[in-house]
A and B are shown apart, each in its own frame.
Chain A
Amino acid sequence: MTQGKRIRILIAKPGLDGHDRGAKVVARALRNAGMEVIYVGLHQTPLQIVNAAIDEDVDAIGLSILSGAHKTIFTKVIALLKKRGVPKVLVFGGGTIPKKDWNGLKSMGVGEIFTPGSDTSKIINYLNRTLKRDKNV
């Protein structure tokens, strides 16, 4: 159990609204699936999120967004990751993101989007599948 690669995920809740129950549920589920979850909590700016992701050397960033500002937030996070030289970090999202925006977000580089109340096993499977493919170990 001690040796070998462990998947590390940063979970953040950007935006102004103070409600992170959904994000915490996902964080716990990922932990129970054997991942190391760095939980940074509420009111995170894209810069804070990306800096934390770099320090923590995470494989993926999960953003829980309920405030409707999803487009700007994802755009900024993905642009910052590129600028800081870590474009390979997977970005995925959850929350109230209208379906009509999904394609646009995905073509921008968002890996996957999950609706509120999605079965957490769907998220776990997605991460295991996607991140293993990128691992050379």
Chain B
Amino acid sequence: MADITFNAIRKSYGRTEVIHGIDAEIADGEFIVIVGPSGCGKSTLLRMVAGLETITSGEVHIGDRVVNALEPRERDIAMVFQNYALYPHMSVFDNMAYGLKIANVPKPEIAERVAEAARMLELEPYLERKPRQLSGGQRQRVAMGRAIVRKPAVFLFDEPLSNLDAKLRVQMRLEIKALQRKLGVTALYVTHDQVEAMTLADRMIVMNAGVCEQIGAPLDVYADPATLFVAGFIGSPPMNVISHDIRPGHGALAPGAVIGVRPEHIDLVEPGTGLIDFDVGFCEPLGAETLVHGVTAAGDKLVVRIDGETRPPADGVKTGLSIDPSKIMMFDPSGHRTSA
């Protein structure tokens, strides 16, 4: 068990820099999710922690050691890969035991540790099988088991659930979280799925194009996004971006600045009574809620989230929008939050 520190980490492939200096402090036992769009450098960052990529500059500390120059096995980490990366010719038992065998752990202890992991992951009936005789979910568990038996200081996960179907993904998500809680091991988890990030993370690192946009607890990040990117990336549907000032008594916005409002902070009211008028385009009833898509009088496209029990407006109807001024967020032209 250990804390992790990123100290101005950069990564270049040849002359292209893909990670532009990341700083973070991760406490012992924390579950950290690194989330961001495809190609933003999440895997690269994780692989630098694992020791599978060299660190171009900056330092990674695990516990009280700088691990930049250490081989993966010396870093006291275990990694779960997206495609599980199980050894196809070894049984489930051997897959889990391999790392321990290499570390010269005595045989009885290996058997004991594997048995314990297998019990925890309900893999006991499959120990003699080869990976190809297992379902996707079971393979996923074996990959987890291989990480657990090592008793590492840090778990690293690179999109471990992306090959599973939606239902299994939700189930495994809960299991991973429960397991990490139980073992108390620091975890770094990479995903591009913001729902996964929100549900798993103690804190999340939102990345975009090789920089860290914000670090914080999921609900804090959601309620208080530091940049327009985070506001758009975290939350589904994303935050509405309005390029005209809708606040009463304000003039035009500075050029390039925008206003952001979450879909659930807007209410539909009678035409003419709200802050602005709104033309309903179409509705998406989702059961518990309904998403109303439309355009404001000034031409901004918005999504409004209303309760599922409320009767949705007909397509093409004109309504008004009321917005709680305290929920309005301002972003300057560079995309950063401003107060006014």
A is bound by B:
no
